[in-house]
Amino acid sequence: MRVLCLDFDGVLHPVSAVKDWARDGRTLRELRYAPDKQLFRWLDRLSQMLDQHPEVAILVHSGWRTMSRDFELREYLGPLADRFIGSTSKSMQRFAGIADVLSRIGTTDYVILDDATHEFPEGLPELIATDPELGLSEPGIQTRLQAWLDNPKDELATHDELVASSSPTC
């Protein structure tokens, strides 16, 4: 299984959109009825990118997991709801929660979309760091995500390479 670890704020919409939403006195419960598409405005773009990759599941590590139950997170994902495999632990930091879930499901083929780079080890190659106001709308971010989508890890080949590299040579 391939896993896209997904943050919401700063990825699927600008961080400022959340502040505007809260300033207007709206609650998350109203989200499914919001006609203005301030929030999740780039969800359709992500959906288009994932269309040709049905093997990719979505793990939510967004701060929204602390305010919403999994069925609500699934609803927020709209056309991608069927790909939702759950969220990381509310009691763990982002990267620790991601690592825990990935370990339990046994995958090493993952990518993380997030604007909060301070939450992750420096230089983490699986992290695609977004600009908090541009998120997934930024062409460079789409290019990096597309590169991951188009180049799945061949875990069998990786294993074979490890075996070959540890074999004694004559």
User: For 114-125, how does the pLDDT look when each residue is reduced to its tens digit (9 = 90+)?
Assistant: 999 999 999 999
Domain limits of the chain?
A: 2-166
How many CB atoms are located within 10 Å of the residue 58 CB? 22
- What percent of the chain is predicted at pLDDT more than 90? 74
- Rounded to two decimals, the pTM is 0.85
Q: How confident is the model at residue 19 (pLDDT cuts 50, 70, 90)?
A: confident
Mean residue pLDDT across the chain: 86
Residue 168 has pLDDT above 80, yes or no: no
Residue 162 has pLDDT above 50, yes or no: no
- CA distances for 101 relative to 34, 72, 89, angstroms: 31, 19, 9
For domain 2-166, give the fold: Rossmann fold (3.40.50)
Average pLDDT over residues 62-77: 93
Region of 62 on the Ramachandran plot (φ > 0 left; ψ -120 to 50 alpha; else beta): beta
Residues in the chain: 170
Reported as half-sphere exposure (CB side, CA atoms, 13 A), residue 106 has a value of 1
pLDDT at residue 165, as a whole number:
40
How many CB atoms are located within 10 Å of the residue 109 CB? 18
Q: What is the DSSP letter of 121?
A: -
- Select from 134, 129, 97 the least CA-distant residue to 116: 129
